Structure 1
Amino acid sequence: MSDEPSNGELGRLIQSLRGEMREDLGQINGRLDRLVPMDVYTIEKTQMADRVAALETQREKDAERIIATRRWMIGVVITVCLALLPYLATIVTGARA
């Protein structure tokens, strides 16, 4: 009978165990409060994917617009050169005469 704890010791052990459980549960609740709920995470991830897709689409449109502008500018330069070519030829041939 000396190996068995007394009722008082059992009570203290149970109270100690309850206190430790409360502390542990408090720590778990503190960690859970910092976690993001799955539905919020899913919504944020979906919105981020939508934003990235929109930015990629806009980047492609901008690249196409830049290419079109370069082509237009090259066409203008060629047209101006072709328009000035007869005048330049006249100046060069007139200088020889």
Structure 2
Amino acid sequence: MTDEPTLGEVVRRFEDRLTDVRDDIHQLGQRLDEKVDRQVYELKHEALATRVAALETLREKDAEKLVATRRWLIGAVVIPLVAVLMPVIILLVQGAST
């Protein structure tokens, strides 16, 4: 009979197990509170996808503006400048060769 636990020891072991189960349930409750609902996740994902699409559209518009600005710069500044300087250069070259 020495191998059998006393009633007090059985109660103590049972209370220990009950405490462990309560702690486990409490931890599970905390983990469930931290979990994101699937609908909330999907909404956030859709909002992010919409935002990325808007940013890509803005980037494409900015690239088009940059190309238009370069074309304007070439057409309004470089070509007239070359047109003015070319006759001067030609006259200088002809004058130096005579």
TM-score for the superposition, normalised by structure 1: 0.70
Corresponding position: 1:92 with 2:83: no
Partner of 1:24: 24
Partner of 1:78: 79
Q: Give the CA deviation at 1:37.
A: 1.7
Partner of 1:50: 50
For 1:81, the aligned partner's letter is V
Cα RMSD between the aligned structures? 3.1
Q: Distance in 2 between matches of 1:34 and 1:40?
A: 13
Q: Which moved more, 1:20-29 or 1:36-45?
A: 36-45
For 2:36, the aligned partner's letter is V
Q: Distance in 2 between matches of 1:35 and 1:14?
A: 32
Cα displacement string for residues 24-50 of structure 1 (whole angstroms, at most 9, x for unaligned residues): 000111122222222221111111111
For structure 2, the 5+ residue unaligned runs are: none
SS state at 1:36 partner: coil
Q: How many residues align?
A: 93
For structure 1, the 5+ residue unaligned runs are: none
Cα displacement string for residues 3-58 of structure 1 (whole angstroms, at most 9, x for unaligned residues): 88777666555443332211100011112222222222111111111111111111
For 2:80, the aligned partner's letter is T
Q: Distance in 2 between matches of 1:52 and 1:79?
A: 42
* Percent of pairs with identical residues: 44
TM-score for the superposition, normalised by structure 2: 0.69
Q: Distance in 2 between matches of 1:38 and 1:8?
A: 48
Q: Distance in 2 between matches of 1:79 and 1:52?
A: 42
Q: Distance in 1 between matches of 2:69 and 2:58?
A: 16
